[in-house]
Amino acid sequence: MPENLLKDLTPLLVGYGVRVLGALVALWISFRISSWFQQKITRGLSARKFDKTLSIFFGNLARYLVLIAAILACLGLFGIETTSFAAILGAAGLAIGLAFQGTLSNFSAGVMVLVFRPFTVGDYIKVGDLEGTVAEINLFVCALNTLDNRRLVVPNSTITSGAIENYTANELRRVDICVGVDYGSNLAEVRKVLDAAAATVPHRDPKRGHDIFLESLGDSSVNFQVRVWAKPEHYWAVWDAGTEIVKVSLDNANIPIPFPQMDVHLDKVA
């Protein structure tokens, strides 16, 4: 009896073994092909000066389509009809949707990001407490590179749930350099010195120029703001060079930058 059972099961086991092996090989090949398609489409669109964000998106989309087609084909090897499989997915759709609320919200948020385009690859953005240069925009997450070269992977639902601050969306950005001078200083002379200093800041945009703004009367100083316009990629260089130029210019003009100070009055005790 066991020998007969083994003889009966052997063709079945061999048949399913071959199918499983074929399915694994097919999946491995599909992974390689999908990656190849992704790279070719992304590079091809980028070479034709197509939008970088959409180039990455279409590359990822092609990869997912190839993988889905391969999985459905592998299911067909085991006698599972794709139509019945789709019906099963439809019946289980509600349960899956409830179980993957976060994933689906990330997907819908990713579609919104790609449609409304609040930022693109290469922009420097701030979302909540996170900020960095956009490296990738995918259907579920976005990748940011921070200034100290850390990689942040942010769910798309987190990005679209609040305000998005895009530092590089506009052609120019204003650099504010704050400085305080002594209350005894001649304000007209201070404004003249700061104006001359701002005019020599490297990478300053000559069309928008600069402004010298009297910001406030502080506890220990009269506070000015030197406002210089520059391209976003020159922001940090302008801030660094501008701060140094302002300090040196005030020193050369003998205009003191005061330290915090406090006047203490003592009442006589009878």
Q: Which fold has domain 2-91?
A: Helix Hairpins (1.10.287)
Residue 151 main-chain phi, psi, to 5 deg: -100, 120
* Domain extents in the chain: 2-91, 117-166, 173-252
Q: Cβ distance 199 to 261 under 8 Å?
A: no
Could you report the per-residue pLDDT of 174-194, keeping only the tens digit for each?
999 999 999 999 999 999 999
Q: What's the CATH code, domain 173-252?
A: 3.30.70.100
Per-residue pLDDT at 180: 93
Per-residue pLDDT at 15: 56
Taking the whole predicted model, whether its pTM rises above 0.75 is answered as: no
Per-residue pLDDT at 1: 45
CATH 3.40.190.10, applies to 117-166 = no
Burial class (CB in 10 A: 0-12, 13-18, 19+), 78: exposed
Write the DSSP assignment of 55-113 as a string of letters.
HHHHHHHHHHHHHHHHHHHHHHHTT--HHHHHHHHHHTHHHHHHHTHHHHHHHHHHHHH
The tens place of each residue's pLDDT in the chain, 270 residues long, gives 455 544 555 555 555 666 667 777 777 887 888 888 788 888 887 777 666 766 777 777 778 777 777 777 776 666 655 555 555 556 555 554 544 556 677 778 888 888 888 999 999 999 989 999 999 888 888 999 999 999 999 999 888 888 999 999 999 999 999 999 999 999 999 999 999 999 999 999 999 989 999 999 988 899 999 999 999 999 999 999 999 999 999 999 999 988 776 677 777 765
Q: Which residue has the tokens 């100070």?
A: 261
Could you report the per-residue pLDDT of 220-232, keeping only the tens digit for each?
899 999 999 999 9
Tokens of 123: 């922009």
